[in-house]
Structures are given as structure tokens and as C-alpha cells.
């Protein structure tokens, strides 16, 4: 509230052009937040510029788009600057951008796969936090500020033929735990959300890594016995981005329908 007026929350979301990131933008917009939607838009296997433009258009004047590779810290600094210039604050950041690689046992996995996953899936989250947290600490309401890293069931289990992705997602969990410890006393909090198999282009890519004809078989690994919708995961992420989300700090929300490999 400001002088009796409700001040909208301002959130940065990476990986926002499609999948869970895009669903998170929609969930935040629906409750009145303002969003800077960031994506690399590099074309396959990444989303296209048109995907990001569609997310921005659907959000009306509540969403600004920003093309940035999460490996580029200065490009993320610019996204934060955009939020602060347009809306005067940054209340939360969601690091959803990631890629997947694998399909072979660890000892046959090219080092390039590990390098890619480390650079995008781990350092991308690191860069997002490093860009966002100073704006939160220096903003009008640090106690209302949240950082949310998107990890995975692969962040707490060993998934077959995905050793490099497992390593990267375990690192995301460690990163948010360390960040939460660094933020003690500031009011800013940090957590991870670990989705299960969710109907997005990344799940299609995962099925292809296993030479599966489609994604439906992954439902067997979830107690709900179905593939999750991105909106279901986004609802959990949106809660973690809220002022009330401070209750989840230095820990992981398992938004996976009950993972049961
Ligand atoms: N879909 C699932 O089943 C599932 C399960 C567990 C965890 N996750 C995690 O959820 C998050 C979202 O995944 P998704 O399924 O929506 O994937 P997705 O591939 O549909 O979307 C990922 C988005 O990230 C963007 N991106 C990729 N590399 C980028 C980079 N270097 N810089 C900026 N943007 C980049 C892509 O363009 C794309 O828009 C990821 O962290 C993923 O690891 C997904």
C-alpha cells in the first residue's frame, strides 16, 4: 500500500517466451503484477522472438519484453534497469530459463553438454540472482522481495541418462540455499521450485533424448499419473513470488504431482 493505494508488485521472469516461464508471466499478470519478460529467443532449441512477443502482447501494459541470454550478466542488469525505470522497483525474480541435454550415460556424455548446462542452467540462475538482488536490497521494500530459481525433480533425484542435467539442477538447489543464507536479516528470501514432468517443449525434447515417441510415458513417474500443465507449476511459482512467499525460504517446493520414479 502507498497512501492507501495498492502498489503492484514488479517481477522479472527469465525463460518467459514459452513453457513454465510464459505460464508464470500469465499467472502474475492475472493477479495484477507488472512483469519484465526475458528470453534468449535464439530459435530452436530456444523459443522464437514471436513467442516472446505473444506473451508480451497478451499481458498488455503490464508486461515488458526484453531479449537477453541469461549467460550475459550485463543483459540481465539491463532487464532489471528496465523494471526499475518503468515501475520504480523490483519485488521478485524468477529464473526459469534453461536447456536440457543428455541421453547417454555420464561416461559417454560429451564435456560440451556439461559446459552448456552449467553455463545456462546454473550460471544463468546465478546471473539472474546477481542482477536482481541488489535492486531488491536497494528498493523500497526488501522484506517483500523474493528470488525463485526453477530447479527440477532432477535437482533431488538421479534421472537416467541425464547426469549433467542432474548435476546442474542440484546446483540450482544449492545456489538458492546459499543465497538464502547470504540474505539473512535483509528480508529478501530465496527458494527453488522443482517441477515434475510438465507439458512444454522441454519435455518434448526430453522424450526425444530417450527416443520415446511422446511424453505420455513420463506420467507413470508421478503419483497424479498425468503430465502437469504449466499453469499448475506457475501457480506454485507465483505463490513463491508473493509477499506471503517468504514462508518458503532456503528450501524447495516440489511442484511435481508426487515424484515416484
Ligand atoms: N517441462 C518439464 O517437464 C520440466 C521439469 C522439471 C524442470 N523444468 C524446468 O523448468 C524450467 C522451464 O522449463 P520449460 O519446460 O518451460 O522449458 P522450455 O524449453 O519450454 O522453455 C525454456 C525457455 O528458456 C529459454 N532459454 C533457454 N536458454 C536460454 C538462455 N541461454 N537465455 C535466455 N533464455 C533461454 C528458451 O528460449 C525458452 O523460452 C527450466 O528451468 C526447466 O529445467 C521443466
Can you tell me the distance from the alpha carbon of 139 to that of 105, in angstroms, rounded to the nearest whole number? Answer: 46
Mean pLDDT in order along the chain per 10 residues (261 residues): 75 98 98 98 94 98 98 98 98 98 97 98 98 98 98 96 98 98 98 98 97 96 97 98 97 96 76
CB distance 227 to 197 below 8 Å: yes
What per-residue confidence (pLDDT) applies to 261?
A: 76
Mutate to test the pocket of ligand 1, among 21, 39, 98 (most ligand atoms within 8 A of CB): 98
Q: Which residues are near ligand 1 (CB < 6 Å)?
A: 14-15, 17-21, 39-40, 46-47, 69-71, 96-99, 120, 124, 150, 152-153, 195, 197-198, 200-203
The long-range contacts involving 102-109, CB below 8 angstroms and separated by at least 24 positions, are 102/161, 102/162, 102/163, 102/164, 102/165, 102/209, 103/161, 103/162, 103/209, 103/210, 103/211, 104/161, 105/161, 105/163, 106/163, 106/164, 109/163, 109/164
Asked if 212 contacts 37 with a C-beta cutoff of 8 angstroms, the reply is no
Q: Whose CA is nearest to atom 21 of ligand 1?
A: 19
Note the pLDDT of residue 6: 82
Nearest to 9 by CA among 118, 88, 74: 88
- In Å, how far are 112, 123, 157 from 46, measured between CA atoms? 17, 17, 25
Ligand 1 centroid–CA 201 distance in Å is 8
List residues with catalytic annotation: 165
Compute how many other C-beta atoms are within 10 angstroms of the C-beta atom of residue 79: 25
CA of 47, closest atom in ligand 1 = 37
CA nearest ligand 1 atom 11, residue: 96
Q: Would you tell me how many other CB atoms lie within 10 Å of the CB of residue 14?
A: 31
- 42 CA: nearest ligand 1 atom: 37
Can you give the pLDDT at residue 3?
56
Q: Find residue 193's DSSP bridge partners.
A: 150, 253
pLDDT for res 143 = 97
What is the best residue among 17, 18, 20 to mutate for testing ligand 1's pocket, by most ligand atoms within 8 Å of CB? 20
Closest atom of ligand 1 to 228 CA is 3
Amino acid at each position: 500500500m502507498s497512501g492507501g493505494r495498492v502498489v503492484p508488485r514488479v517481477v522479472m521472469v527469465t525463460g518467459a517466451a514459452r513453457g513454465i516461464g510464459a505460464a508464470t508471466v500469465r499467472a502474475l499478470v492475472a493477479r495484477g503484477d507488472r512483469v519484465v519478460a526475458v528470453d534468449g529467443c535464439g530459435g530452436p532449441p530456444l523459443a522464437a522472438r514471436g513467442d516472446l512477443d505473444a506473451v508480451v502482447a497478451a499481458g498488455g501494459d503490464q508486461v515488458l519484453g526484453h531479449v537477453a541470454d541469461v549467460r550475459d550478466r550485463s543483459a540481465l542488469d539491463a532487464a532489471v534497469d528496465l523494471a526499475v525505470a518503468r515501475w520504480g522497483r523490483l519485488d521478485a525474480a524468477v529464473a526459469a530459463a534453461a536447456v536440457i541435454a543428455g541421453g547417454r550415460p555420464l561416461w559417454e556424455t560429451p564435456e560440451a553438454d556439461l559446459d552448456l548446462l552449467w553455463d545456462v542452467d546454473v550460471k544463468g540462475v546465478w546471473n539472474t540472482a546477481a542482477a536482481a538482488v541488489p535492486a531488491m536490497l536497494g528498493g523500497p521494500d526488501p522484506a517483500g522481495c523474493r528470488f525463485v530459481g526453477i530447479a527440477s525433480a532432477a535437482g533431488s533425484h538421479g534421472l537416467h541418462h541425464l547426469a549433467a542435467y542432474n548435476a546442474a539442477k542440484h546446483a540450482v538447489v544449492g545456489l538458492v540455499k546459499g543465497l538464502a543464507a547470504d540474505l539473512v536479516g535483509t528480508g529478501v528470501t530465496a527458494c527453488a521450485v522443482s517441477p515434475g514432468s510438465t507439458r512444454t517443449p522441454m519435455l518434448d525434447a526430453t522424450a526425444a533424448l530417450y527416443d520415446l515417441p511422446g511424453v505420455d510415458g513420463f506420467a507413470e513417474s508421478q503419483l497424479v499419473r498425468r503430465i502437469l500443465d504449466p499453469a499448475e507449476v506457475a501457480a506454485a511459482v507465483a505463490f513463491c513470488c508473493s509477499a506471503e512467499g517468504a514462508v518458503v525460504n532456503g528450501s524447495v517446493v516440489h511442484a511435481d504431482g508426487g515424484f515416484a520414479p
